[in-house]
A and B are shown apart, each in its own frame.
Chain A
């Protein structure tokens, strides 16, 4: 008889202690005609099995680029990774040979994209596109692959999966298409799933269904999940911890509920304040003033300083590192960090 832990690890290559994914000081740049755009400037985060990390940020904050670097699907050039480390189950992903990297993609780390309609191939049936996973990685026959595709579609609760397996992406509704994307990511039971704005293109009611499905399947397979979003509402229910990104850096990390209750970075505070609330009906919506910086010319010091209500001279000169956030008596708050010189003041702000 095997224990629960054994069955959990038996389909994995080997039991591995430590985080599933560990990103250290990752830098990504894009060489453009106008100069070098610094998209990611020293991002570090880690995800454990069964854990959900939400990466929050506006467009251009580098959250998707980080994910693409982890997947190894950046076009290099124009992209390049001058510095940093990505370790998956302890193994260095950046130094790995191409063939091994390809085998990990889809099999160990899978990705769900935002717009399922354009992310699925318009001229191939969904059954074929799902089955491709088994054919490419497990050398399954066409027939086997199709059977597995039907199973997958049933698993993500697509009605009448058997009849719909030969349909094309455009014949499905938006929610069903995103379920197919999820099914595709789940196909080979990966250790880690990266979901890049999985619900942004969907109606609000469908958003909840898709998020619930994703969370449920994640728990079932004990997968790590990186949820990339700009929507604070999506994150609240499913994430364990949050990393807030701004101009290619992580500006705050915190367990999800603590971040909502007591943000320690002015940018996070601004994000939270700009969520429309029912008790403020009729009042003007709060918006963070100014625009995100041009990645070709990120301002010196803290990148957020031109928009920050708290900015002082030091913010325009020094780049703040991610300081550990503590209570006033010095008790450390586990998993909390803020890249603001004035995190203490921000934390107490009400």
Chain B
């Protein structure tokens, strides 16, 4: 187990350098000059442009820029955005918002997804089962921006329960509606995955053994059925949490949540190289850690993998 973790961590190193290099190259080879864009319509003084370019290392060949950037990164310096604000500052503002939103969406999809999946999986062919199937299919087929606008119209405009957009991204109650919209797609997947998994395990031989042992039904369901059925669901949830932490460009945009997705979207539009690279670098790390945690969780849940 220890050597497995070590091997996985070592594998993360080339992935980390590969992805950051790729994103670095992509951002810096984008057409258009970010420095002259700073001046808008006005003509820029070539001397000023040159000094800004020098300040941001833009006058250097790209491989030198990359090495310089990585060197700073390992000292905890994510660089400075073209507006003069440290990128780490920008992220420190946006990430907590995204984390809050992500955790709320995650809790929503976890609790309700599992509940719906359990009900429909245990009672296949019942009315509840059909209802869950139809509803989840609906959610899966509707694009998230449509769902977001519908939610906005119904709950904000018609019912007036909430404001259409988030006024204060630090206020948890305002984040509920965006979190529900954000988590709804994964909720549908969790429900269906749980349903299928329970259906398969219900027919397993070891379930018959559990019944033959004379165990109470409750014990059979929680200890034998759920423990086995949740293995694929947990791995999905783990990966999904990683994805949620990466911010949600569409949902955050529609509800005006000042999270990482919104900031990233703006940075890409404005060709804010340092910000984009900084954020993506952190996201790469989040993803790598999330997938490592999922793999380890898988091994914890399924002993057959642990000892393989």
* A106 in contact with B214 given A73-B208, A121-B206, A123-B228 (CB within 8 Å): yes
A102 — nearest CB in chain B belongs to which residue?
B214
Partner of A115, one of B205, B213, B219, B228: B205
Instruction: Check if A136 is an interface residue, CB within 8 A of chain B.
Output: yes
B218 to chain A, nearest CB (A): 11
Residues in chain A near residue B205, CB distance under 8 A: 113, 115, 118-119
From the candidates A105, A118, A123, A170, name the one contacting B213 in the complex (CB within 8 A): A105
Whether B227 contacts A124 by the Cβ 8 Å rule is yes
A110 touches B212 (CB 8 A): yes
CA distance A113 to B207 in the complex (A): 12
Q: Does B209 contact A (CB under 8 A)?
A: yes
Q: Which A-B residue pairs are the 3 nearest by beta carbons?
A: A106-B214, A105-B214, A118-B205
Residue of A nearest to B227 (CB): A123
Interface centre among A104, A119, A121, A170 (most CB of B within 10 A): A121
Range of interface residues on chain B?
Answer: 20 to 34
User: B84 on the interface (CB 8 Å rule)?
Assistant: no
Residue of A nearest to B202 (CB): A75
Which residues of chain B are within 8 angstroms of A103 by Cβ–Cβ distance?
Answer: 214
Q: Give chain B's interface secondary structure class.
A: helix
What separation, in Å, do the CA atoms of A164 and B87 have in the docked complex?
Answer: 55
In the complex with contacts A123-B227, A123-B228, A123-B301, A137-B209 CB distance below 8 A = no
Query: Given the interface contacts A168-B304, A170-B303, does A120 sit within 8 Å of B206 by beta carbon?
Result: yes
List of B residues within 8 angstroms of A122 by Cβ = 206, 228, 302-304
Residue of A with least CB distance to B303: A168
| A113 vs B205: C-alpha distance when bound (angstroms) | 9
The answer to whether the Cβ of B100 comes within 8 Å of any Cβ in the partner chain is: no
Complex Cα distance, B209 from A261, in Å, reads: 37
Q: Which residues of B contact A119 (CB under 8 A)?
A: 205-206, 208-209
Which B195-209 residues have C-beta < 8 A from chain A?
A: 204-206, 208-209
Could you say which residues of chain A place their CB within 8 Å of the CB of B219? 132, 136
A195 to nearest B CB, angstroms? 12
B210 engages A102 (CB within 8 Å): no
Shortest CB distance A13–B (Å): 16
Does chain A have a CB within 8 A of B74? no
- Inter-chain contact A102/B212, CB cutoff 8 Å: no
From A111, A113, A122, residue with most partner B Cβ within 10 Å: A122
**Interface digits, A117-141 against B, CB 8 Å rule (1 contact, 0 not)?**
0111111100000001100110000
Interface of chain A residues 63 through 87 with chain B (CB within 8 A): 71, 73
Nearest-CB distance from A198 to chain B (Å)? Answer: 13
A interface list, Cβ under 8 A from B: 71, 73, 102-107, 110-111, 113, 115, 118-124, 132-133, 136-137, 168, 170-171, 184
Question: Cβ of B307 < 8 Å from any Cβ of A?
Answer: yes
B14 proximal to A (CB < 8 A):
no
> Within the assembled complex, what's the spacing in Å between the Cα atoms of A111 and B209?
8
Verify A136–B301 contact, CB threshold 8 A: no
Residues of B contacting A104 in the complex (Cβ-Cβ under 8 angstroms): 214
A186–B219 CA distance with the chains assembled, in angstroms: 21
Contact assessment for B307 and A121 in the assembled complex, using a CB-CB cutoff below 8 Å: no
Is B111 at the interface (CB under 8 A from chain A)? no
Verify if B9 is at the interface (C-beta below 8 Å from A).
no
- Chain B residues within an 8 Å CB radius of A136: 213-216, 219
CB-based nearest B residue for A110:
B212
Cβ A171 vs Cβ B307 within 8 A: yes
A-B contact pairs, 8 of them (CB 8 A): A105-B211, A105-B212, A106-B215, A119-B206, A123-B302, A136-B213, A136-B214, A137-B214
Min CB gap A50→B, angstroms: 22
In the complex, A103→B214 CA distance in Å? 6
Report the minimum CB–CB distance from B13 to chain A (whole Å).
Answer: 33
A residues near B231, Cβ cutoff 8 Å: 123
Closest A residue to B302 by beta carbon equals A123
Residues B213 and A132 in contact, CB atoms below 8 Å apart? yes
| CB of B224 closer than 8 Å to a CB of A | yes
